[in-house]
């Protein structure tokens, strides 16, 4: 070959760039893009796998932390709904796949409450409805576990207090596709069960013999993430709402009304993630360091905040009337 027929290094680079710009296939050294897994909203197995990826990380040994930032509102007749304090949730969740394809979902969760005037996390609260200063009790639920399978999970039994047993149903959830690139999941639970705080023993803490609680979740996920089989956890944003009686530490007893939580949630890397408020991360490390890591062992029973309140707190003494 004549010297004039040989390409210099600079000419070769220029030719490669021109060829790529013209749309010709280039020699690919990068990793091949994973094959998309199509959305199958009506498939219970697909729902099982997607929920496990959404709530935790299906890769062995991994877990996911979660964070919520929001407001607690009072709901009383004769007045508008109004925010009374803020709240933050920090949780750690792990899933472990079983031989039958189901997952054990194991979780620890915390809720701290925030003074809206000072912006500080609270250990005491000046209750505007009673004029009384009360002790704030952090929520610390360890564990709060359930099984993810191709069937809807049974409602939490709260140590046997909730005896509801709805019929077995395939796990087909309420998914919606928005603008062809965003998936929204609506997932709600509505409960009515025996209150762990018997009003005869807990007259100032208990809202009555029965407990009515609703939790409403709205997840927003990128479609491309859901269709990527290499993502063992699905990044997401969402809204969490909870309707529940007055918190027991508010010492409102059977006063008419209830409270309503609303907050924005996301998974986070850990307590030091940029979106986690610094005082929340500090309280997790100082008061509840074990909550930075998800449980590794399945434990029963699981209790909610009311059952744990009854287990670890003592009834408040009768209030002395002001003279």
How many beta carbons lie within 10 A of that of residue 67, not counting itself? 22
Q: Cβ distance 165 to 154 under 8 Å?
A: yes
Task: Supply the pLDDT for residue 163.
Answer: 73
* Cα 61 versus chain centre, distance: 20
User: In this structure, what token pair is assigned to residue 211?
Assistant: 């407990």
User: In this structure, what token pair is assigned to residue 153?
Assistant: 């999970």
User: In this structure, what token pair is assigned to residue 197?
Assistant: 């705080």
**pLDDT tens-digit map of 241-260:** 999 999 999 999 999 999 99
31 confidence band (pLDDT: 50, 70, 90) = low
pTM, 2 dp = 0.87
Q: Which residue has the higher pLDDT, 31 or 74?
A: 74
Task: Give, in degrees to the nearest 5, the angle at Cα 250 between 119 and 289.
Answer: 60
Percent of the chain with pLDDT over 90: 81
Task: Supply the pLDDT for residue 181.
Answer: 97
**H or E stretch including 229?**
none
**pLDDT tens-digit map of 45-87:** 999 999 999 999 999 999 999 999 999 999 999 999 999 999 9
Task: Supply the pLDDT for residue 140.
Answer: 97
User: In this structure, what token pair is assigned to residue 165?
Assistant: 């047993």
Q: Cβ distance 90 to 113 under 8 Å?
A: no
Q: Kindly give, in sequence order, each residue whose CB lies less than 8 Å from that of residue 213, ignoring residues fewer than 6 positions away.
A: 190, 191, 242, 243, 244, 304
The mean predicted confidence, pLDDT, of the chain is 90
4 confidence band (pLDDT: 50, 70, 90) = very low
Q: pLDDT at residue 9 above 70?
A: no
User: In this structure, what token pair is assigned to residue 105?
Assistant: 């979902």
Residues forming beta bridges with residue 121, ordered by sequence position: 114
DSSP summary character for residue 34: P
**pLDDT tens-digit map of 112-158:** 999 999 999 999 999 999 999 999 999 999 999 999 999 998 776 66
Percent of the chain with pLDDT over 70: 88
99 confidence band (pLDDT: 50, 70, 90) = very high
Task: Supply the pLDDT for residue 162.
Answer: 72
Mean pLDDT over residues 299-314, rounded? Answer: 92
19 confidence band (pLDDT: 50, 70, 90) = very low
Mean pLDDT over residues 193-209, rounded? Answer: 96
> What is the C-alpha to C-alpha distance for residues 204 and 209, in angstroms, rounded to an integer?
13
């Amino acid at each position: 070959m004549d010297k004039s027929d040989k390409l210099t290094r600079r000419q070769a680079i220029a030719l490669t760039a021109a060829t790529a710009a013209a749309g010709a296939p280039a020699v690919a050294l990068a990793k091949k893009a994973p094959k998309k897994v199509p959305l199958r909203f009506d498939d219970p197995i697909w729902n099982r796998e997607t929920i496990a990826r959404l709530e935790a990380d299906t890769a062995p040994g991994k877990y996911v932390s979660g964070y919520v930032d929001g407001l607690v509102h009072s709901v009383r007749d004769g007045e508008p709904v109004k925010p009374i304090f803020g709240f933050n949730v920090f949780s750690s969740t792990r899933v472990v796949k079983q031989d039958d394809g189901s997952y054990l979902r194991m979780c620890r969760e915390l809720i701290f409450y925030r003074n809206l005037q000072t912006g500080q996390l609270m250990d005491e609260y000046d209750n505007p409805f009673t004029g009384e200063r009360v002790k704030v009790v952090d929520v610390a639920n360890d564990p709060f576990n359930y099984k993810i399978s191709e069937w809807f999970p049974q409602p939490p039994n709260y140590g046997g207090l909730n005896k509801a047993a709805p019929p077995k149903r395939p796990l087909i959830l309420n998914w919606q596709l928005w603008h062809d690139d965003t998936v929204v999941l609506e997932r709600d639970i509505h409960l009515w069960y025996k209150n762990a705080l018997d009003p005869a023993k807990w007259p100032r803490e208990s809202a009555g013999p029965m407990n009515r609680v609703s939790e409403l979740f709205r997840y927003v996920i990128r479609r491309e993430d859901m269709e990527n089989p290499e993502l063992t956890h699905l990044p997401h944003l969402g809204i969490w709402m909870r309707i529940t009686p007055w918190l027991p530490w508010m010492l409102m007893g059977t006063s008419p009304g209830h409270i309503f939580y609303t907050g924005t949630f996301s998974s986070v890397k850990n307590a030091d993630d940029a979106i986690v408020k610094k005082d929340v991360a500090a309280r997790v490390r100082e008061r509840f360091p074990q909550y930075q890591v998800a449980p590794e062992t399945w434990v029963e029973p699981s209790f909610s905040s009311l059952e744990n309140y009854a287990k670890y707190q003592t009834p408040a003494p009768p209030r002395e009337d002001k003279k």
